Amino acid sequence: MGQSLLKVLFGDPFAVMNTIGLLAFALVGSSKAIREEFDLLGITIVGLAMAFAGGATRDILVTRVPLALQSPIEISLGLLGVGLAITLSIVLTSPDTHPITLLADAIGLAAFTTTGAIVATEAGVSAFGVVTIATINAVGGGAVADILLDRSPFILFDDFYASCAVLGGCAYFLATVVGVSGGTAAGLCAVVTVLTRLAAVTYGWTLPTVQGLGLVER
């Protein structure tokens, strides 16, 4: 734990992004469960599922024991995010759609895209593997949270959500190809992801449906 804290203080890109992502996604996941009037256990489960499901899937894909089960600080950060969501739900109405939550979601998306890209690159997978693991790390938690809430995962409908993670993952891979430092690649990945996400929310970017393209008879 101490070591992890030191890493954060000294700016290890993975530790910084992982800390930000855990707090942000636990907050967002819990807010969704509060909206659905789940009990405190359900709120905690959905919050922790959103915070850890993406990273656990990433770790399983590179065949290592999920970090969350090895480091106490990880769970503490997740529970802190759950507490923040409950606090927000007291001071805000419909916290799950409040700008603070939307911002937290965009920040979490960017942070986890970056952690995924870092771990995948260390695991030595293909370019497709880096972008895929970065995207799964970023959107996996939200998808699991939605499945727990018995909804069709919103990532399939919100066009510029997973797309932002894909763009961020590509940015990270390209940055490493041109040989910049890991910290620079991580920062670039996070900035590309969060800016494209915020722009998508602000300007309502969408991708066309096949029907929308007028290619298919409705």
Query: Which one, of 158, 151, 157, 199, lies nearest residue 32 by Cα?
Result: 151
Coil, helix or strand for 55?
Answer: helix
Q: What does each C-alpha distance from 204 to 43, 89, 91, 158, 196 come to in angstroms?
A: 29, 26, 27, 10, 11
Question: What would the x/- binding string for a second copy be over residues 115 to 144, using CB under 8 A?
Answer: -----x--x-xxxxx--xx---------x-
Note whether 98 and 32 are within 8 A (CB): no
Q: According to the binding rule CB under 8 A, does residue 178 interact with a second copy?
A: no
Q: Which residues contact 43 (CB under 8 A, 6 or more apart)?
A: 30, 33, 34, 82, 85, 86
Of 4 and 114, nearer to a second copy (C-beta) is 4
Q: According to the binding rule CB under 8 A, does residue 184 interact with a second copy?
A: no
Residue length, the chain?
Answer: 218
Instruction: Give min distance, CB of 71 to a second copy, in A.
Output: 7
* Residues from 20 through 59 that contact a second copy (CB under 8 A): 33-34, 37-43, 45-46, 56
Instruction: Give min distance, CB of 10 to a second copy, in A.
Output: 22
- Sign of the C-alpha dihedral computed for residues 150, 83, 13 and 168 taken in this order: positive
Residue from 5, 6, 69, 177 in contact with a second copy (CB under 8 A): 69
CA geometry: angle at 47 spanning 46 and 53, to 5°? Answer: 80
Instruction: Give min distance, CB of 153 to a second copy, in A.
Output: 6
Residue from 9, 72, 97, 183 in contact with a second copy (CB under 8 A): 72
Q: According to the binding rule CB under 8 A, does residue 90 interact with a second copy?
A: yes
Note whether 118 and 16 are within 8 A (CB): no
Q: According to the binding rule CB under 8 A, does residue 80 interact with a second copy?
A: no
Of 40 and 181, nearer to a second copy (C-beta) is 40
Residues making contact with a second copy (CB under 8 A):
33-34, 37-43, 45-46, 56, 60-66, 68-72, 74-75, 86, 89-90, 93, 120, 123, 125-129, 132-133, 143, 147-153, 155-157, 159, 162-163, 206-212, 215-217
